[in-house]
């Protein structure tokens, strides 16, 4: 799984990068085989004025399905990243379950359907 990070108006350093990668890795660990790429966009909307202005947008491209996008705002950047990553893991799980249920009749056969016609009666 590839994680691409873009930042705007944020002081980016190795510690922050490691925390972002770790947070997304933990949240999507169960579904990493289904994820092709994760894009993270971090921004400080108000700049030095402060306030609830840290933006975290995470988009995950799933294999065999459409993208999943999460948008989170907050006053602390790492808290917003953690909330967005946790929500991303949940949404990917929902998407996987939805696809599994929708495809179930095509891939499963019941015992009665697998038996020959003479044995079923």
37: Cβ contacts below 8 Å, ≥ 6 apart: 1, 2, 3, 4, 60, 61
> Which pLDDT value is given to residue 99?
79
Looking only at the bridges linking them, the beta strands covering 35-44 and 2-8 are parallel
Mean of pLDDT values over 14-34: 93
> Which pLDDT value is given to residue 84?
97
47-90: pLDDT as tens digits: 777 677 899 999 999 988 889 999 999 989 999 999 999 999 99
Entry pTM: 0.78
Domain ranges of the chain: 2-120
> Which pLDDT value is given to residue 48?
72
Query: Which CATH architecture group holds 2-120?
Result: 2-Layer Sandwich (3.30)
């Amino acid at each position: 799984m590839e994680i691409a990070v873009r930042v705007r108006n944020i002081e980016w350093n190795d510690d922050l990068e490691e925390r972002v990668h770790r947070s997304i890795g933990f949240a999507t660990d169960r579904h990493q085989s289904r994820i092709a790429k994760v894009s993270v966009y971090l921004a400080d909307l108000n700049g030095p004025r402060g306030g609830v202005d840290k933006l975290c947008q995470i988009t995950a491209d799933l294999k065999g399905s459409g993208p999943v996008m999460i948008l989170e705002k907050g006053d602390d950047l790492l808290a917003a990243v953690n909330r967005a990553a946790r929500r991303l893991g949940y949404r990917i799980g929902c998407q996987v379950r939805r696809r599994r249920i929708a495809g179930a009749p095509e891939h499963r056969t019941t015992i009665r359907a697998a038996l020959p016609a003479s044995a079923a009666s």
